Structure 1
Amino acid sequence: MRHGEFRHRRLVQVYDAECPWGPDDDFFRAVVDETPAARVLDLGCGTGRLTIALAADGHTVTGVDPAGASIAAARAKPGAERVTWIEGTSALLPGRAFDVAVLTSHVAQFFVDDAEWTRTLVDLRRALVPGGRLAFDARDPADRRWERWNPVDSQRRITLPDGGEVRAWTRVTGVRDGVVDFIHHYRFADGEELLSSATLRFRTEAELRDSLTAAGFTVDHIHGGWHREPVGHGEFVVLAHTESG
């Protein structure tokens, strides 16, 4: 199935267990907290790990995601009642409604087609107030992360909240012009096996800068990691803003 971690009830539980709070969440939380009592958009919010934390910090938060199973899992978590949840895409966003927008967990890479990425950035610019801030992450293609997505190096065991264990591994099926196709394999203790396929776009720093500028953003910084390292540490952590006035 396509994007099973976000759309299949059982795999959503695995995703939650495999992706706990990390330094990326700390970074985005700190960025949002620079704007007190902000109106925050979390686009591609998934199961709401960061979304709910931002609401608990006193921000007015809207979580948007096209995957109904992920939104359902988010709504079931403690503190979810503080968040406005929307199942859908950036096309549904109201104009000038947010002070800060975040796209985390490499959501930006799921916009494989350049036209789709451009539409999303234009929607985000429209949804942000003048001077509004955008923060997102993407993997640096120079790191060639996909070369480690193979059945040997990617082997992992994931413990679920009920104590059950899932074996998982990843296999790349195609690489072309910055686009990587891959399949996640999941084997559950009861014998069920599920596959989830996906495609990611690895844009260069220049491509990210050009796309943001074309969509009406000014790039403030592109860091190379969650501790604001220089580019060259495997990540692009992007901070930008819309023009004021």
Structure 2
Amino acid sequence: MTHTREPVPDHGNLLTDHPELYEARFPDPVRLAARWTEDLLRAHGAGPRVLDLGCGTGRDAAWLHRAGRTVTGADTSEPMLTHARTHHPGPHYVHADLRGFDLGENTFDAVVCLDSSLLYCHTNPELDGMLASCRRALRPGGLLVAEMRNGAYFLGRTRLLDAPAWSRFTWRDTTYTAMTTLRVDRAAQLLCRRRVWTADDGSAPVEQHSAWRLLFPQELRYALAAHGFGVLLLHDGPGPRTEPVWREGMPSGGAVADGDRLHVVARLVGAG
């Protein structure tokens, strides 16, 4: 009789705890997110000093560094930071929690927050802490550039919630398979994810749980304004994670925010 092994709960994250796996799962040889970011920074006249919040493996931070920026990459994952310092040198990498950090006052010309990193601010106090920290870190007139899931997309849409999604990739002769289930906690405005990883190397399955805040466009405008930011752009694409994806020469977006990604450029303009 064959017994199915129960997943082993994991308080970490298979990909963020193993940066090589992360880069294998999400290859980005052309650094599309970094190119999109640089296009916006140039279009809105940002100075050279950039803070990349939630920098992960450092791929985008290093590309911005090579483009001539002075970059600080910040993350809470020590494995990610160690990988970044070794494999994507150039930026200054620091351990910092985006929900509240102090990296100096009037230090940066722009803060960049990609890949839904901002949505790890699950509560209003955490979001306020993040935006207050950005305000403190930015020079007058500095930019906040963010890219994330769009909470409004889930109004009346259940496609992503109806059934588990499967994905797999191979790294160093081991194939990893993920079964992902999403649900929405409407009271908390959280998109909750349960993911079970299996590998064909005989290791036990691993179960992981994570969540992202679902922010609505007008809600985000209100929070930004409360901290002294004026919104320059807020739209659903094109961007580095949309389909079709953004390419050089494309317009920087309009007023529509109905797609599954949300793109924001805001300038620090006054007191909150």
Fold in common (TM above 0.5): yes
Once the two structures are TM-superposed, the CA of residue 27 in structure 1 deviates from its matched residue by 1.4
Aligned partners of 2:108 and 2:138 also within 8 Å = yes
Q: 1:65 to 1:127 in 2, by over 3 A?
A: same
Is it true that 1:196 corresponds to 2:204 in the alignment?
Answer: no
Q: 1:2 to 1:25 in 2, by over 3 A?
A: farther
Q: Is there any run of 5+ residues in structure 2 with no aligned partner, and where?
A: 1-9, 240-245, 247-252
Aligned partners of 2:236 and 2:259 also within 8 Å = yes
- TM-score, with normalisation over the residues of structure 2? 0.80
Is it true that 1:94 corresponds to 2:80 in the alignment?
Answer: no
Once the two structures are TM-superposed, the CA of residue 170 in structure 1 deviates from its matched residue by 0.8
Calculate percent identity across the aligned residue pairs.
25
SS in structure 1 of the partner of residue 80 of structure 2: helix
SS in structure 1 of the partner of residue 194 of structure 2: strand
Aligned partners of 1:4 and 1:195 also within 8 Å = no
Once the two structures are TM-superposed, the CA of residue 151 in structure 1 deviates from its matched residue by 5.8
For residues 201-220 of structure 1, give each alpha carbon's deviation from its aligned partner in whole angstroms, at most 9, with x where no partner exists.
Answer: 11100110000000111111
Once the two structures are TM-superposed, the CA of residue 149 in structure 1 deviates from its matched residue by 5.3
Is it true that 1:224 corresponds to 2:233 in the alignment?
Answer: no
**Partner of residue 158, structure 1:** 169
Q: What is the alpha-carbon root mean square deviation over aligned residues?
A: 2.3
The whole-number CA distance in structure 1 between the counterparts of 2:216 and 2:80 is 29
The whole-number CA distance in structure 1 between the counterparts of 2:76 and 2:37 is 21
The whole-number CA distance in structure 2 between the counterparts of 1:27 and 1:85 is 21
1:71-110 paired onto structure 2 within 5 Å: 71-77=81-87, 79-80=88-89, 82-90=90-98, 91-110=101-120
Once the two structures are TM-superposed, the CA of residue 150 in structure 1 deviates from its matched residue by 6.4
For residues 189-232 of structure 1, give each alpha carbon's deviation from its aligned partner in whole angstroms, at most 9, with x where no partner exists.
Answer: 21222222111111100110000000111111102111425322
Q: Which has the larger radius of gyration?
A: 2
For residues 69-90 of structure 1, give each alpha carbon's deviation from its aligned partner in whole angstroms, at most 9, with x where no partner exists.
Answer: 111121221x41x110001224
1:1-245 paired onto structure 2 within 5 Å: 1-2=10-11, 4-5=13-14, 7-9=16-18, 12-21=19-28, 23-34=32-43, 35=45, 38-77=48-87, 79-80=88-89, 82-90=90-98, 91-144=101-154, 147-148=159-160, 152=164, 154-160=165-171, 162-172=172-182, 175-177=185-187, 178-192=189-203, 193-225=205-237, 226=239, 227=246, 228=253, 230-243=256-269
Q: Is there any run of 5+ residues in structure 1 with no aligned partner, and where?
A: none
